[in-house]
């Protein structure tokens, strides 16, 4: 027996290829949407991996430091360092903002780390060019995705920073490139007000009679001094010594230091389950709609192709072709169309993925699931056409 | 023997009523007909007289309302189908030729003809060999690998005759097979049908309006108002 579907496709290959390519672009968009979601999850994982932390110590009752804002005293890390099982603990600040360079500005996550603390959690684990932060002020290490180059001068708030090192794949959970600056500068950038605001605040403090006690000289100066430093950071990142269980160490910190502590698994659950959950649902909606549109297209094409062959189908039935054979022919054509579409879609997604501004991660598993979905959709879509074909009366071939 | 004599086609008292109640149409009231193996008979009658209805009944695509039909000595209908699998009946024992050739446009000439034996389970090579033999006999072998759209009307009709013959059916039903052809080609088609009838011992019924070919039949059935009358034809030209 010859393949009726195969012969028909070969005979009308132009039609098949054109609709296959159209369908393929749609499938490519679908695969890309899935890749966008995977990219977001991967960005979140990269953020956690590259931080090098085992525990995130943050403000009580918050989901910080990434999903919610968190603020804790910058000397907490000292008491953590004294705990058994803790290898390293480091202050860190995160601030997402526009970083200016000359005429342009880049959306970035500014990370404050202790200079010289190589290997401490929160530090960029490796550089692709330049050197790490060594001085206490006005140096920056930038992710390649920011587009900055060694020696560039970038502006964060009121200060200029020189880019001394470049790193790669250091991104926020939103996919924004990271820019590392010294912790002190970062604390200032996060909390410091502009000059006018400082002047106004000083005047208010000075006018407050409570601070202007004739008998207590220096009180006003001391109050003003505490107002102009920022003793807060967003989180302390903790690295454990090998062999210690994260949850075992987290529990006493939660209980005695009155702080929230997240382990790696909990942090990932927060990022994936909460921070990007809405985006994931958004993408899920798109996937559903794209699947429905693809199904409608396949159904429509196969249906019209079948209607165009009603005469031939009547003849095939008249000369004794089984319903099974006719249904198989239509089904195979739908699957053929789906396969052309899938191949075109996979290729186009692979071609255009790198041009997306955010990370698009095409996972083979998603492609496999996509292929399965295409097959299922094609089967469902061909049902309509098969129904029409089976209803054809062989008497039609004889005519009036 | 009596059975020998009824080889071919035999129809007795066949009736067909479309619909029911007030709108019922009695398309066939009482049809008697007999076609011997190797014989080509004409079936003529005014429009609406029931010619196509008769072919559809005989071709097992619609069910008669009563009467008897016998093919090759076997009763296929006697006030109800006597054969469970009508598709195999159509595939193996009845060949169809239509007014338009209705070839499958995506198969080449050989496979259009070979499709039937393939459907019946013959290996592709054997089916194609049979197809080519017939194409040879019908003088279209030189177009064996062309697509139907590349053939002339007459060539297409000859291919469709090859298709009707390829499973060596005892019966061929042809509905206006010469309508789209000029008189020379129409006569050629009738000549081929006669040759094939003799060569393969096939009983052939040709429904026609075509004045050019009516004189070629030796026997003609007239159908009027759902009833048949047999009359002798001129039987010219194909001795
Ligand atoms: N499916 C149907 N339902 C109801 N009536 C039908 C149906 N098919 C045919 N008829 C009626 O049966 C009668 C015979 O029709 P048939 O098609 O057999 O005529 P015909 O001899 O082939 O005519 P023509 O030469 O015009 O093709 C007509 O009156 C027609 O209206
Ligand atoms: Mg008719």
Per-residue pLDDT of chain A (400 residues; tens, 9 = 90+): 888 889 988 888 898 889 899 989 999 999 999 999 999 899 889 899 989 999 999 999 999 799 899 999 989 999 999 899 999 999 999 999 999 988 889 999 999 999 887 788 888 888 999 999 998 899 999 999 999 999 999 999 888 999 999 999 898 888 899 999 999 999 888 876 777 888 888 888 888 888 777 777 788 888 877 777 778 999 999 999 999 999 999 999 998 888 999 999 999 999 988 888 888 899 989 988 988 888 888 888 888 888 888 888 998 888 888 899 999 999 999 899 899 999 999 999 999 999 998 889 999 999 999 999 889 988 988 998 999 999 998 888 877 6
> Binning pLDDT at 50, 70 and 90, where does residue B5 land?
very low
Pocket of ligand 1 (CB under 6 A): A 400; B 18-19, 25, 27, 45, 47-53
Instruction: State how far the Cα of B33 lies from the Cα of B68, in Å rounded to an integer.
Output: 10
Residue minimizing CA distance to atom 29 of ligand 1: B48
Instruction: State how far the Cα of B186 lies from the Cα of A114, in Å rounded to an integer.
Output: 100
**Tally: H helices and E strands in chain B:** 7, 10
Interface test with A, best of B102, B128, B150, B209 (most A CBs within 10 A): B102
Residue minimizing CA distance to atom 16 of ligand 1: B50
DSSP symbols for B14-37: EEEEES-GGG-EEEEEEEEEEE-T
Q: What separation in Å is there between the alpha carbon of B47 and the centre of ligand 2?
A: 7
Chain B residues inside the 8 Å CB shell of A15? none
Instruction: Report, as an integer, the average pLDDT of B171-181.
Output: 86
Chain A residues inside the 8 Å CB shell of B116? 319-320
Q: What separation in Å is there between the alpha carbon of B182 and the centre of ligand 2?
A: 20
Interface test with B, best of A310, A320, A321 (most B CBs within 10 A): A320
Listed in sequence order, the DSSP H helices in chain B are: 2-5, 51-58, 86-93, 109-119, 124-137, 153-165, 183-200
Interface test with A, best of B115, B167, B174 (most A CBs within 10 A): B115
Buried b (16+ CB within 10 A) or exposed e, A84-97: ebbebbbbbbbbeb
Q: Which two tokens stand for residue A384?
A: 């309509």
In chain B the first and final C-alpha atoms are separated, in Å, by 27
Question: Which residues make Cβ contacts (< 8 Å) with residue A42, sequence separation at least 6?
Answer: A359, A361
Indicate if the alpha-carbon torsion angle A395, B171, B151, B191 is positive or negative: negative
Instruction: State how far the Cα of B168 lies from the Cα of A43, in Å rounded to an integer.
Output: 71
> pTM to 2 decimals?
0.77
Q: Do A399 and B98 touch (CB under 8 A)?
A: yes
Instruction: State how far the Cα of A58 lies from the Cα of A71, in Å rounded to an integer.
Output: 7
Tokens 């020998």 identify what position? B4
Question: Which residues make Cβ contacts (< 8 Å) with residue A183, sequence separation at least 6?
Answer: A74, A91, A92, A93, A112, A113, A114, A115, A233
Indicate if the alpha-carbon torsion angle A149, A151, A155, A161 is positive or negative: positive
B16-25: which pairs have CB atoms within 8 A and are 24 or more residues apart? Answer: B16/B50, B16/B53, B16/B54, B16/B57, B16/B62, B16/B64, B16/B65, B16/B226, B17/B65, B18/B53
Instruction: State how far the Cα of A48 lies from the Cα of A65, in Å rounded to an integer.
Output: 11
pLDDT of A400 reads 67
Which residues of B sit within 8 Å Cβ distance of A?
52, 55-56, 59, 61-62, 87-92, 96, 98-99, 102, 104-107, 111, 115-116, 118-120, 124, 147, 163, 175
Please name the member of B52, B124, B163 whose beta carbon is closest to the beta carbon of A399: B52
Reported as type and span, the H/E element at residue A20 is: helix A13-51
Indicate if the alpha-carbon torsion angle B229, B234, B235, B238 is positive or negative: negative
Contact predicate A101/A284, CB 8 Å: no
Question: Which of B19, B49, B226 most suits a substitution to test ligand 1, by most atoms within 8 Å of the C-beta?
Answer: B49
| β partners of residue A141 | A165, A180
Contact predicate A394/B61, CB 8 Å: yes
Q: Are strands A86-101 and A104-113 parallel, antiparallel or unpaired?
A: antiparallel
Residue minimizing CA distance to atom 24 of ligand 1: B47
Nearest CA in chain A to B113: A319
Query: B213 burial class (0-12, 13-18, 19+ CB within 10 angstroms)?
Result: buried
Helix (H, G, I), strand (E, B) or coil at A239: strand
pLDDT of B137 reads 84
Reported as type and span, the H/E element at residue A179 is: strand A178-182
For chain B, the average pLDDT equals 88
Residue minimizing CA distance to atom 14 of ligand 1: B50
Residue minimizing CA distance to atom 22 of ligand 1: B52
Based on C-alpha coordinates, what's the Rg of chain A?
Answer: 31
What phi and psi, each to the nearest 5 degrees, are found at residue A183? -55, -45
Contact predicate B238/B197, CB 8 Å: no
pLDDT of B192 reads 85
pLDDT of B172 reads 92
Chain A residues inside the 8 Å CB shell of B52? 398-400
Buried b (16+ CB within 10 A) or exposed e, B3-26: eeebbbbbbeebbbeeeeeeeeee
| β partners of residue A166 | A129, A142
In chain B the domains, ranked by start, together with CATH numbers, are: 36-62+83-232 (3.40.50.300)
A61-64: which pairs have CB atoms within 8 A and are 24 or more residues apart? Answer: A61/A260, A62/A260, A63/A270, A63/A274, A64/A234, A64/A235, A64/A260
Chain B residues inside the 8 Å CB shell of A12? 106
pLDDT at B1 over 50: no
Count the residues in chain A. Answer: 400
Listed in sequence order, the DSSP H helices in B104-182 are: 109-119, 124-137, 153-165
């Amino acid at each position: 027996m010859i393949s009726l579907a195969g012969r028909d496709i070969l005979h009308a290959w132009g039609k098949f290829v054109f609709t296959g390519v159209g369908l393929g672009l749609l499938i490519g968009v679908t695969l890309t949407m899935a890749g966008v979601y995977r990219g977001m999850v991967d960005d979140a994982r990269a953020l956690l991996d590259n931080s090098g932390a085992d525990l995130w110590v943050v403000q009580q009752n918050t989901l910080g430091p990434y999903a919610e804002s968190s603020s804790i005293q910058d000397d907490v890390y000292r008491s953590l360092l004294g705990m058994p099982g803790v290898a390293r603990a480091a202050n860190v600040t995160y601030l997402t903002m526009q970083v200016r360079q000359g005429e342009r500005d880049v959306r970035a996550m500014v990370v404050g780390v202790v200079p010289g603390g190589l290997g401490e959690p929160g530090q960029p684990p490796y550089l692709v060019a330049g050197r790490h932060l060594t001085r206490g002020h006005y140096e920056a290490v930038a992710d390649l995705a920011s587009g900055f180059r060694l020696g560039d001068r970038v502006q964060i708030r009121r200060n200029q920073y020189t880019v001394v090192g470049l790193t790669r794949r250091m991104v926020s959970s939103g996919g924004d490139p990271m820019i590392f600056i010294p912790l002190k500068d970062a604390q200032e950038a996060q909390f410091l007000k502009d000059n006018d605001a400082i002047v106004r605040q000083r005047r208010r403090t000075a006018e407050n009679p409570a601070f202007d006690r004739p008998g207590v000289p220096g009180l006003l100066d001391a109050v003003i001094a505490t107002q102009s430093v920022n003793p807060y950071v967003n989180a302390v990142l903790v690295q454990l010594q090998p062999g210690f269980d994260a949850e075992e160490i987290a529990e006493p910190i939660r209980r005695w230091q009155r702080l929230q502590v997240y382990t790696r698994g909990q942090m990932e659950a927060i990022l994936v389950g909460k921070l990007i959950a809405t985006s994931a649902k958004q993408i899920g909606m798109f996937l559903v709609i794209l699947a429905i549109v693809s199904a409608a297209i396949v159904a429509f094409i196969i249906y019209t192709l079948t209607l165009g062959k009603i005469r031939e189908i009547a003849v095939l039935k008249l000369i004794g072709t089984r319903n099974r054979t006719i249904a198989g022919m239509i089904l195979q054509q739908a699957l053929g169309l789906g396969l052309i579409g899938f191949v075109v879609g996979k290729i186009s997604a692979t071609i255009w993925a790198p041009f997306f501004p955010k990370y698009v991660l095409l996972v083979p598993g998603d492609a496999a699931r996509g292929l399965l979905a295409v097959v299922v959709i094609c089967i469902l879509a061909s049902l309509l056409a098969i129904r029409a074909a089976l209803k054809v009366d062989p008497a039609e071939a004889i005519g009036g | 023997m009596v059975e020998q004599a009824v080889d071919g086609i035999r129809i007795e008292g066949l009736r067909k009523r479309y619909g029911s109640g007030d709108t019922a149409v009695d398309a066939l009231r009482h049809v008697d007909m007999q076609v011997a193996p190797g014989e080509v008979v004409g079936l003529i009658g005014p429009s609406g007289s029931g010619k196509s209805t008769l072919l559809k009944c005989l071709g097992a695509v619609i069910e008669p309302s009563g009467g008897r039909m016998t093919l090759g000595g076997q009763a296929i209908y006697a006030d109800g189908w006597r054969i469970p699998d009508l598709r195999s009946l159509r595939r193996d024992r009845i060949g169809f030729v239509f007014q338009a050739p209705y070839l499958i446009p995506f198969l080449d000439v050989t496979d259009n003809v070979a499709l039937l034996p393939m459907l019946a389970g013959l290996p592709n090579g054997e089916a194609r060999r049979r197809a080519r033999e017939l194409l040879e006999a019908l003088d279209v072998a030189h177009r064996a690998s062309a697509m139907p759209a590349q053939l002339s009307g007459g060539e297409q009709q000859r291919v469709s005759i090859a298709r009707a013959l390829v499973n060596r059916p005892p019966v061929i039903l042809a509905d206006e097979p010469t309508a789209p052809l000029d008189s020379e080609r129409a006569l050629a088609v009738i000549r081929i049908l006669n040759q094939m009838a003799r060569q393969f011992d096939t009983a052939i019924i040709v429904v026609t309006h075509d004045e050019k070919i009516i004189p070629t039949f030796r026997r003609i059935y007239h159908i009027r108002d759902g009833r048949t009358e047999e009359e002798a034809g001129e039987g010219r030209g194909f001795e």
